[in-house]
Each structure stands twice: as structure tokens, then as C-alpha cells.
Structure 1
């Protein structure tokens, strides 16, 4: 059954709360069909074309997209991608990642990216994920609606085959661009499409529908696994979403622990590390009974640390020079790059820090070791090291806490303790 405007209107009726749809428009046949059909369905669309500058005719393709959108009176946004080829990633995947990054920059809470993936694409993705050893998350392949950190990614054409979509293109006399790179079998997806799928379909004519059904079943299984992970993370969660109780995690079976950690990392906006790295997190950090130091496991997107009985999920820490001395004009914000933090004048007021009248500048330093102070309300001097330990502050944070000085006198361990003016502090 060829694509119909009525079908699209029914699909998008579930997303009436969204105000704008960005159609990923390459100029190829699939995205041309999607753009034309969504325009015919009178949906609030903008087309977005990403020029990767990877082909000799890239600029000509952009001009074609501009002409088509002008003829349809559809607003077109053009973005230019800079592709960085990484050793562990194919050029195809690098281009895709750059494209989606540009697409997502446009989104807000009431908008969505719409792509023209269809049933053939879905079948190819399932096979690729199988060959990569993927679990349910990979085999679930392409949902028709995916919640992003901001906005949504919609795929309304997944129930249609490429053949059915071409019927729509033919009946509407659509013009599109054929990308010659689609015939190059150097790319895994092209090899599957051009060589493997024809053989599979010759032997099993319903293979695409069967693979699509398998993806749907994997999506159901993934939903159950996510529900279970949410229960396990909730039981281990502390007051902060990025900190979990190690004891609660150690009580889980190996399978549930791995599932919970993957879900926790992903729900905090980070890519899940490889299976090897995840196993190291479990064996070297989570399940260690006695830990003398603060173990650390890093990967591209983040790092996991443990302090006492708590597990911390963090962005990778930037190099930090604890010997630096910074002058702060306290009527202005101060950005400290190594902390990725901005100190605000409001913090001084909220912390009730005693600053002498007429003083408009403080000195920001960091802990070196050996500091002693007498916090307001204390009867005797204490070492800053002991105060930080008693406050349960993780070791990696201690040298990153701003210490505020006036005339070489420590007046605040910002966010923790204030020192009365005139009180003795030593280092």
C-alpha cells in the first residue's frame, strides 16, 4: 500500500503538542517523499539540509534542495558540517553523528526532528546490530518516536517499504538526487542493502517484515528492562541522581547490576561505555569490598568514581592547577575554566560572607595542604583536611573548592565554612 497523506495526518495526530517539525532533507528519494507528503498533510514543517562537503556535487545538491523547498514554500535551513574522521569510526558514521548534532541544535521542548527511515532501513539496522553483538537496546533499532534530551526524533515511515514509497514518488512525479556513494559496498550498510538483502529476500520474501517484528519485540523487552533498572536505581539513589549507594548495587545479581548501570549512565545523558569498560566498573569499583583509594574508570563521555560507599557518575574532570591565584572583582561573575564553574556575586550574599565595607576584590586560592582555620561557631582551630573529611567531601573535590581571601586572611571555604574577620588562619 503506497504512502498516503491520511496516514501521515493520523501519525502526527499523536503529537499535536508539538509546534514545529524539522524534516531532515538530503535531497535523496526518501527525504523528498517525506518532505512532499508532510507538506501535503499541511503540517508545520521546516526542512533542514546538512551539507557535509564530502561529494564533488555537494553544493549542487544544496541548490536542488533550495529549489524544491522554494517551489513548496517550505522554509529551508542549511547547515554546513565539518567531518572529523576518527580511527574507531567510519566516515559514514562520522557524517551521521555530525548531521544529528546539527539537527538537535535546533530543537526545543515543542519540536521534533523527522527522518525518512523506512522498513528496509529498519531491517538493515537489525542485521547490522546483530553482527555487532548488540543487546536489546541495539536490536530495538529504530523506534517511531524517540525522546531526546530536548525534543523528539520521529520516524513516521517505518511501516512502509522502499518499494511502497517509490510508488508515492512516481505518482507525484517527484524529482530527487541519487547519491552515487550509495552504490559503494565499502560501507557496511550499502553492502547489506546491495548484496545481502537481495539474497535474503530471494530465499525469505517476508524477511523485512520479520526483522521489523523482531525489532518491535526487542523494544518491548527493552522497555521491561528499563522499568526494572528504574526500580533498582531508585533503591540505590541518594539525594543526587549522579550518586548511588554501593551497598544497594552490590545486592543485585550480576545481570541486574549491569542493566542498572547502563540505564543510570544513559539516563544521565551519557553514552554507555563498551562492555569491557562496564565490566571493569563492576569488578574494580562497585564490587570491591575494601577500597583504600578512590578508584576511577573513564571513557569518552564520562567517568565513574567511588568514595566510601558511594558511586559517582561525572563528566571527566579538567586538569586543575591548585597553585593558581585569581583576583575576583566581586561585583562581576568569575569563570574558572579548570572547574568549569562561574562564581557569582550572589553566592557571597547567599553564603552570608562577611566582607569589609569598600572591599571590591577578593583573592581566590585553592587548598595546598596544611591549612588550619576557626570556622564561625567553632571554639578552636581545625585543620581544613579534617573538616573536609568529616564533611564527607570526596578527595577529588577538595583541591577544587575555592578559598576566598582578603588581605591574606581566609574568610570563606566557599560553599562550606565562613571564617570570622580577624580570626587567625594558618597555612
Structure 2
């Protein structure tokens, strides 16, 4: 622990610190992300002083259970909040120690994901969450992303505000340098806990913080301010990029997870990249990390009509089919063998839920679900002819990757059953509607419905 005297009674916090904390929009609850370090400890004091009498101030401590002093830090946070009369929520998260390496994709990233996942679950509509990132953190972020080859979206650094869970995240100290915060924290007599991992130079950010940035500052004073200006300029460019992409999406008649390819041909490579990145973010994914965009897009957009090109990304893929580009999220694995749908219960099948609503009179025939095996035929009317399921799906322009996942529902004994439903695309009148002839009603719903 970094010792401090007892907090000075009636200490007057400077307006430069209080003003951005007071200027927050209206909220139902105000949360402060409390690590126990200098920055978040100071921010909690500011929030308690500026909003303690005007609304509910709460703190949340994420215990990653990684550091040897994790229990001491949690105890410090509990004591600090008790002294300020601020309710505290402690979230313990598990991060596998062998997850990744010490680099950017290692345990640092795993801990960050676990931390933000816990915060997203906590923050509800109307809530604001304050985080104590400051100007030095922003400088590290911009430089770190520059070294990773990020574009303007990455070089924009951490936003001062963004959506988080059901509410919003705010960083009111982002314009201040850590030296200023430490000076005021010591003047106020605050104590805080130092994270021992912050000195471990095996981690990329710590290497930048302790080795690279001091050297750069010795050559270029005011480095944090310079990098902040770069971040601001990149943020402005990214805002314009997103507005352009939204306009082009509308003009190209994009819809949900589908975008007509014809309009993409008329765009420059830079516009194509910008639109696809925007599309991925709008759907909740990180944009594809691609070295050679020209070749990747050429393969995706100009492959022969008999091909099924695919560009894989983190959590989704881009696929082309019959003149459209599709954003296809990763899917859950499906059962390898047929599964029986029990009366009165629901069955999860990938993205679908199937429910067989009970009849008051007679039991149903065996109802089974499986994927396509080939050669299936369907009879759309009891006295009508049967049709090839393969041809019917082709006529309806169902993409191949969806055909392979559709739950096919059969009624009757295995090997001789009748196809009564095809995913959420069709259901036999005997098992649907208000006058279902079989006395049973089958409900098939997809997650996106």
C-alpha cells in the first residue's frame, strides 16, 4: 500500500477535477469502477463529494484473483467504501493463468475481457459507470495500437464515453495526466494499493510505460498532449468514416446480415473496407484483421458463381451467395443424431427452439428432429405430390450454410416418418395454425425472430 495521512478533513478538491465529474448526464445509479489504485481511489472520492448527496453512488471492485495481494486489495476497497458510506459490489472473476502469453493477446487481454463482461452484466439502463483512465493511459493506448498497426478507429484511443451494458461508461479524467492526479491525491492524504503487476515489463503496456514512454518524453516534452491531439483527430476521422458507411449502407440497400454485392463493385477499396468494418461493428463484432484487404475482397467478391467464398473473422464470417454478401455469426454445434421432441417441452436446436404443444386427447406420433441427410422429399398438401427438399430450398434462395443447419422435423417411426416442418420456413397444416388436424401444434422459433 502507498501510505497516506488520514484524508484531510474538509479538503477542497480543485475545480479541474470536480467539473467533469459534476457535468455527467442524469443517471439512476452512478457506479465507480474501483481497483484500489491511485486513480480509481481518487475518482471515488470525487464522485462521493460531487454526487453523494444528489443521487446513489456505488462502487464495483473486480477481483481477478491473479495477484498475490488480491485479498488485501479487496479488503482495502471494502474499508474505503465503508468510510465514504458508499455501497460496494465485489465481482470475483476467473482468468485462466495459462491463457495466452504475456503479449497483447495473453493474460492481460483475458483479464480485460473478463472485467468488462462483469461490468456489462452489472450496468442497467439509466446507470453510468465511471472509470479512472487518465491522459497517460490514453497515450499508452494510442502508442500501443500504433505499434499493432491499428487504423484510425484504434488510434482514436479510448472514448470519453460509450455504451456499456444497459447504460453508459464515462472517463471524466481522460484529459488529466497521472502526475497531476498523484499530486492532488497526496495533498488530500489519500492512501491506495499499488498493483504489483504494473511493474512487470513482460507485459507490453508495462514495457511501454516504464521503458519507452519516459525516453520519448525526455526528447519530446508534452508527449501525452501530442498523442491526445492525434487521438482526437483520429476520432473525428472515424466519426466521418462511420457516417459515410451508414449512408452507403442505406444507398446500397443493406439489410441486417445481408448486403447486395452489386453496389460494392462501384466503391473504391477504401470505401469497401470502411463499409465492412462499420457493418461488423454494427452487428457487435470486431472488424476483420486482414493484412491484404485487396486480395481478400477480390476473392470474396469476384469468385465464380459456382464457388462459395468465405472470409473468416473473430466470431463471424463473410460469405457470398447469389449476389449478396452475408455476415454469418458463429453457430452452436448441432446434435449428430436425431433428437426426439417430447410433448409439452421445448428443444433447443442450434439457433432454433422447437416446442410441441400438448393435445388434450391423444398422444402424438414420434416427433424427431435431424439435419439434412440427402434425398429428403416434402409433401406440402396431404393429397398433393411430393417435392425434392433440395430443389425447394434452392428455389427459395436459402444459403447453403443455412440449409445444412435447418432442423427437419419428422412425424412417425424412424426411417418411415413424414417431413412435417422445415426450420421456421414451413410447417404442415396438421401441426400449425388454430385448427391443427393432428391435435398437436408444433412451434418453431429462431433466435432472431
Fold equivalence (TM over 0.5): yes
- The corresponding residue for 1:341 is 352
Q: TM-score scaled by structure 2?
A: 0.83
Instruction: Tell me if structure 1 keeps the 8 A contact 2:317–2:327.
Output: yes
- 1:77-116 residue CA offsets vs partner (Å, 9 max, x unmatched): 1122222322472332322222222222212222233210
Do residues 47 (structure 1) and 56 (structure 2) align?
no
Q: 1:174 Cα deviation (Å)?
A: 0.8
Cα offset, 1:176, TM superposition: 0.5
Shift of 1:193: 2.3
Q: How does 1:163-312 map to 2 (within 5 A)?
A: 163-238=179-254, 240-276=255-291, 281-285=296-300, 287-312=301-326
C-alpha distance in 1 between matches for 2:344 and 2:314: 37
Q: Provide, for residues 290-347 of structure 1, a one-character-per-residue CA deviation record: whole Å limited to 9, x for no partner.
A: 231322232332122221111111222334356x2222124222112xx14322357x
CA separation of 1:101 and 1:277: change in aligned 2, threshold 3 A: farther
Q: Say yes or no: does 1:412 pair with 2:412.
A: no
Q: Which of the pair is proportionally richer in helix? A: 1
Per-residue displacement from partner, 1:361-415 (whole Å, max 9, x unpaired)?
6322332221223313995332111111101111121132222332222223242
Which stretch has the larger CA shift, 172-181 or 24-33? 172-181
List gaps (5 residues or longer) in structure 1. 349-354, 423-427
Which residue in 2 is equivalent to 1:102?
118
Residue of structure 1 in register with 2:46 after alignment:
37
Q: 2:362 aligns with which of 328, 339, 358?
A: 358
Of 48, 54, 68, the match for 1:56 = 68
Of 125, 143, 149, the residue aligned with 1:127 is 143
Of residues 93, 116, 119, the one that matches 2:132 is 116
CA contact (8 A) 2:131 2:171 kept: yes
* Deviation readout 1:241-300 (Å, 9 max, x if unpaired): 111111112221100000110110111001122123855641221x21523132223233
1:90-143: CA deviations, max 9, x gaps?
332322222222222212222233210111111222222222221111110011
**Cα offset, 1:10, TM superposition:** 5.0
**Secondary structure of the residue that 2:231 maps to in structure 1?**
helix
For residues 66 and 416 of structure 1, do their structure 2 counterparts lie closer, same or farther at Cα, with a shift above 3 Å needed?
same
Offset, 1:154: 1.0
Name the structure 1 match of 2:338.
Answer: 325
CA distance in 2, matches of 1:41, 1:256: 45
CA RMSD of aligned residues (A): 2.7
CA contact (8 A) 2:140 2:205 kept: yes
Do 2:303 and 2:309's aligned partners in 1 also have CA atoms closer than 8 Å?
no
Q: Is the 8 A contact 2:17 2:46 kept in 1?
A: no
- Kindly indicate whether the alpha-carbon contact (under 8 Å) linking 1:5 and 1:37 is maintained by their aligned counterparts in 2: no
Matches of 1:259 and 1:300 in 2, distance apart?
Answer: 17
Contact residue 20 and residue 111 of structure 1 kept, 8 A: yes
State the SS of the aligned residue for 1:22: strand
Q: Check the 8 A contact 1:112/1:151 in 2, yes or no.
A: yes
Q: Structure 1 residue 393 and structure 2 residue 414: aligned? A: no
1: distance between equivalents of 2:196 and 2:404? 56
Which deviations, in whole Å up to 9, do the C-alpha atoms of 1:187-211 show, x marking residues without a partner? 2222322233333333332222121
Stretches of structure 2 lacking an aligned partner (at least 5 in a row): 1-11, 431-436, 438-449
SS in 2 for 1:15: coil
Render the CA deviation track for 1:46-75: whole Å, top value 9, x for unaligned.
211122222221111111111111111111
What SS is found at the alignment partner of 2:48? helix
SS of structure 1 residue aligned to 2:162:
strand
| Aligned counterparts of 1:313 and 1:395: Cα–Cα separation in 2 | 14
Shift of 1:7: 5.3
Q: Which moved more, 1:306-315 or 1:395-404?
A: 395-404
Q: Does 1:82 align with 2:94?
A: yes
| Partners of 2:389 and 2:214 in 1: CA distance | 70
How is 1:129-144 mapped onto 2 (pairs within 5 angstroms)?
129-144=145-160
